């Protein structure tokens, strides 16, 4: 039986690049894949799935709360690849689990585990509850060489815990941080000008 995978990592951990590499690998073998993403993620265009490395592909399916996956439309599909899975409605995560179990199609979801307050996103929470396989896409802290776990948010260059969990296209900057640097930066309120190429919303 195929599995539902959740591959999570902090900002800038190359999750989308890994997804696009997986899509390329399947397609090089002549296999059909479908790329899905939440409709609300419009940072790089309404339909684009884009890595900060410059790789990009158009999504095949844009997911809303009421999106259904027709089994007939999935015939011949070797894998479903899902970007920004933290934004998925929990009910859709359950539908993905059904696809892997009932149609024997692997589903690989890539996304953040928690928001900038270190709270689980709804989609990520359901994935952690249902996924057959959970993997961490590792990266290093922006401020030191320890492993990044958290996403630190800056407003006008100052670390903050204010604002909504989902805030696309705003001026805030999110940087990956280890637990020590995350706490120290929030406690100190130290202003930061992100270095060129730092991940943004």
Q: Rounded to an integer, what distance in angstroms lies between the CA atom of residue 32 and that of residue 46?
A: 22
Backbone CA torsion sign across 171, 120, 48, 50: positive
- In the set 47, 56, 84, 136, the catalytic residue is 84
Respond yes or no: is residue 171 known to be catalytic: no
Q: Rounded to an integer, what distance in angstroms lies between the CA atom of residue 180 and that of residue 111?
A: 23
Contacts of 11 (CB under 8 A, 6+ apart): 112, 148, 151, 174, 175, 176, 199
Nearest to 139 by CA among 100, 102, 108, 176: 176
Catalytic residues: 84
């Amino acid at each position: 039986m195929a599995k539902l995978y959740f591959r999570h990592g902090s900002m800038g951990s190359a999750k989308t690049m890994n997804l696009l590499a997986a899509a390329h690998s399947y397609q090089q073998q002549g296999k059909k894949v479908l790329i899905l993403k939440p409709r609300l993620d419009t940072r790089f265009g309404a339909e684009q799935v884009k890595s900060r490395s410059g790789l990009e592909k158009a999504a095949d399916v844009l997911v809303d709360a009421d999106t259904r996956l027709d089994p007939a439309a999935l015939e011949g599909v070797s894998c479903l690849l899902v970007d920004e899975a933290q934004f998925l409605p929990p009910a859709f995560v359950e539908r993905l689990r059904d696809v892997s179990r009932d149609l024997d199609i692997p589903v690989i979801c890539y996304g953040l585990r928690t928001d900038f307050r270190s709270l689980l996103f709804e989609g990520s929470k359901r994935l952690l509850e249902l996924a057959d396989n959970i993997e961490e896409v590792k990266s290093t802290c922006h401020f030191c060489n320890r492993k990044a776990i958290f996403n630190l948010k800056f407003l006008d260059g100052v670390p903050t815990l204010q604002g909504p969990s989902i805030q696309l296209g705003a001026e805030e900057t999110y940087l990956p941080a280890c637990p020590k640097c995350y706490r120290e930066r929030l406690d100190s309120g130290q202003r930061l000008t992100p270095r060129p190429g730092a991940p943004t919303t």
